[in-house]
């Protein structure tokens, strides 16, 4: 597939999706949102892809948020037809882990894109936040919902109400970021190392675990536990379960097939 605002490449079982608008700090306009959604679908149906890494080109921003020029010109009713929420639901609901590799600013929609990923790794120079109230609007791509689920309601309200932009270290302290690397050149190696660690596990198990976690985050614990039981039942029916347990008993590395 051809993209104008993204670079999509594969490194073994890893798909690397790079926002490629460095001249505008990878600002998210409607075309970029549409291309992210297309890339998510491409990764969903590529059986060779087991982990996706999303990052930004240029070294200044993961994604600096919406293109303000398009916001100023947007008609009120166009907000209802925006694909941003649906795009991030597609990213979040991928049955494969998604890692956000953040270098520079992840603001507004950029922060919301990171929130839709499963794991966030940032460089020490990165800054994150939801500053939409400074423009007289609110986070509109899921930020009011995902941020509170990740950092807690009180901290989410503080960040959204004040529009504060925080450091990567503070983001790690509140659970918004999983890991911080000091040097920008270490970001992708660390992200790929984590991806490889995941790839070495049973792909069906990882997929089922992700779905169970996502379901549990959006329902009551009893429904979540019931879903977990069904997911475990499916896991027990796979060839990977036989291979994993056999490899453990035979003291060798498992060779998972995703079946």
147, 108 contact by CB (below 8 A): no
Q: Rounded to whole angstroms, how far apart are CA atoms 220 and 222?
A: 6
255 catalytic? Reply is: no
Which residue in 83, 86, 132, 173 is the catalytic one? 132
Which is the catalytic residue, given 112, 173, 193, 255? Answer: 112
Burial 80-103 (b: 16+ CB within 10 A, else e): eeeebeebbebbbebebbbbbbbb
DSSP 3-state of 3: coil
Here the tokens at position 6 are 């993204």
Could you give phi then psi for residue 234, rounded to 5 degrees?
Answer: -65, -45
Catalytic, 170? Answer: no
Q: Which residues are catalytic?
A: 112, 132
């Amino acid at each position: 597939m051809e993209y104008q605002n993204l670079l999509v490449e594969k490194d073994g079982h890893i798909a690397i999706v790079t926002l490629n608008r460095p001249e505008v700090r990878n600002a998210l306009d409607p075309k970029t949102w549409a291309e992210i959604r297309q890339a998510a679908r491409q990764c969903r149906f590529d059986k060779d892809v087991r982990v996706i890494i999303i990052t930004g080109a240029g070294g200044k921003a993961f994604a600096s948020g919406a293109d303000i020029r398009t916001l100023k010109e947007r008609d009120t009713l166009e907000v209802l037809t925006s694909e941003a929420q649906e795009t991030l639901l597609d990213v979040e609901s991928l049955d494969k882990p998604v890692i956000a590799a953040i270098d520079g600013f992840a603001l507004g929609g950029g922060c919301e894109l990171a929130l839709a990923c499963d794991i966030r790794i940032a460089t020490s120079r990165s800054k994150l936040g939801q500053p939409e109230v400074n423009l007289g609007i609110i986070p509109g791509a899921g930020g009011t919902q995902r941020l509170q689920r990740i950092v807690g309601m009180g901290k989410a309200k503080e960040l959204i109400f004040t529009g504060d932009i925080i450091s990567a270290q503070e983001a790690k302290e509140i659970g918004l970021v999983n890991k911080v690397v000091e040097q920008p050149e270490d970001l992708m190696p660390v992200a790929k190392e984590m991806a490889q660690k995941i790839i070495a596990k049973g792909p069906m198990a990882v997929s089922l675990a992700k779905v169970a976690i996502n379901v549990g985050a959006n329902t009551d614990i009893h429904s979540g536990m019931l879903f977990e039981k069904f997911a475990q039942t499916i896991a027990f029916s796979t060839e990977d379960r036989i291979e994993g347990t056999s490899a453990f008993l035979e003291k060798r590395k498992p060779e998972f097939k995703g079946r």
